[in-house]
Amino acid sequence: MTATTVGFVGLGAMGQGMAGSLLRAGHAVRVWNRSPGPVAALAARGAEPAGSLAEVFAADTVVSMLADDAAVERLLLDPGLLAGATATLHVNMATVSVALAERAEALHAEHGVGYLAAPVLGRPPVAAAGRLNVLAAGAPELLARAEPLFAAMGERTWHFGDRPRQANAAKISANFLLACAIESMAEACTLAEGHGVRPGDLIGMLTATLFPGPVHTGYGAMIAERRYEPAGFRLPLGLKDVGLALEAGAAQHVPLPFGGILRDAFLDALAHGDGDKDWSAVAEVARRRAGLSD
């Protein structure tokens, strides 16, 4: 085991692309996942399969990209795992709660393992291309050590402070704003459609004038065309992130009035069977409210 080995945990749609970017940049990568398929796919590209999480934490640095707080807590916040680790740095790149970031930082410190939070902006194709935006926070010396990994996976790293939770707060805030943008576009398209205006025409005008950029262009087209599959970011994950925003707001007495509206809209979408669709499928809730849904 060399000092340059990177252990990678969590090979979902995002993690596969991120681990692949590390391989492409020349890093030695040891991979672990709960299901074997992605491990085999990356092994064919030169990754080393790990038989256990202990083997991953025998690498010099560990990068993880798990789905949520529960997965991180269950798999990685194990005192026994951390006590036996020879890894001296864990970079958690998942979107998790501020509270979990604080617990993780403290537990890692108890066992002499550095901890960084570095959630990302970008969908799976962006991850596969190594063009993510990395939102990072933690001790400056650890950030400097992780920078070559960030450079392999992303096109820019944004620093938000010396406490890992600050990166998670920034990512939660960004995802909350995305959810608000999706809901506002859905309501605007429904209003226009109610008066006989084609949603595609409205979105075309808006993205060419008031709201250029990938969020309104990409999600606007999906909403106007009612094109929610394949899912780039599944609707239950959107509900999770809205919940993280509400939780983080409550912790600092920051009211988020739109948050409650968004939470109920996502719950409505899930109740109507849209759980496997992209989170932009929450637009169907606005259409149902207006009596426009099929």
- Dump pLDDT digits (tens) for 96-146: 999 999 999 999 999 999 999 999 999 999 999 999 999 999 999 999 999
β-bridge pairing 132-136 and 29-32: unpaired
63-89 in b/e form (b: 16+ CB < 10 A) is bbbbbbbebbeebbebeebbeebebeb
Please name the residue that has the structure tokens 């979902």. Answer: 12
pLDDT-based confidence at 293, cuts 50/70/90? confident
pLDDT-based confidence at 294, cuts 50/70/90? confident
For a pLDDT cut of 90, what percent of the chain falls above it?
A: 98
CA distance 116 to 20: 21
Q: 278, 231 in Cβ contact below 8 A?
A: yes
- Going from the C-alpha of 190 to that of each of 19, 38, 222, 288, the distances in angstroms are 40, 40, 13, 9
* pLDDT at 206 > cutoff 90: yes
**Of 3.40.50.620, 3.40.630.30, 3.40.50.720, 1.10.3720.10, which CATH number belongs to 6-162?**
3.40.50.720
Q: Region 254-276: what's the mean pLDDT?
A: 98
Range in 3-17, 75-89, 170-184, 204-218 with the lowest mean pLDDT: 3-17
Instruction: Tell me what the pLDDT averaged over the chain comes to.
Output: 96
For a pLDDT cut of 70, what percent of the chain falls above it?
A: 99
Predicted TM-score (pTM) of the model is 0.94
Q: 186, 178 in Cβ contact below 8 A?
A: no
The verdict on domain 168-289 having CATH code 1.10.1040.10 is yes
Cross-strand bridge partners of residue 29: 6
Which of 135, 57, 136, 73 has the alpha carbon at shortest distance from 107? 73
Please state the φ and ψ torsions of residue 65, each to the nearest 5 degrees: -145, 75
* Same fold yes or no, 6-162 and 168-289: no
Which residues, including other chains, have CB under 8 Å from residue 145's CB and lie 6 or more apart? 61, 89, 114
Which of 116, 122, 212 has the alpha carbon at shortest distance from 164? 116
Q: 16, 41 in Cβ contact below 8 A?
A: yes
CA distance 227 to 136: 33
Please state the φ and ψ torsions of residue 196, each to the nearest 5 degrees: 85, 10
* pLDDT at 182 > cutoff 80: yes
The DSSP code for 278 is: B
> Token digits for 294?
């099929």
* pLDDT at 2 > cutoff 60: no
3-class DSSP state of 284: helix
pLDDT-based confidence at 1, cuts 50/70/90? very low
Catalytic residue IDs? 171
* pLDDT at 3 > cutoff 50: no
Residue spans of the domains in the chain: they are 6-162, 168-289
Range in 3-17, 123-137, 150-164, 240-254 with the lowest mean pLDDT: 3-17
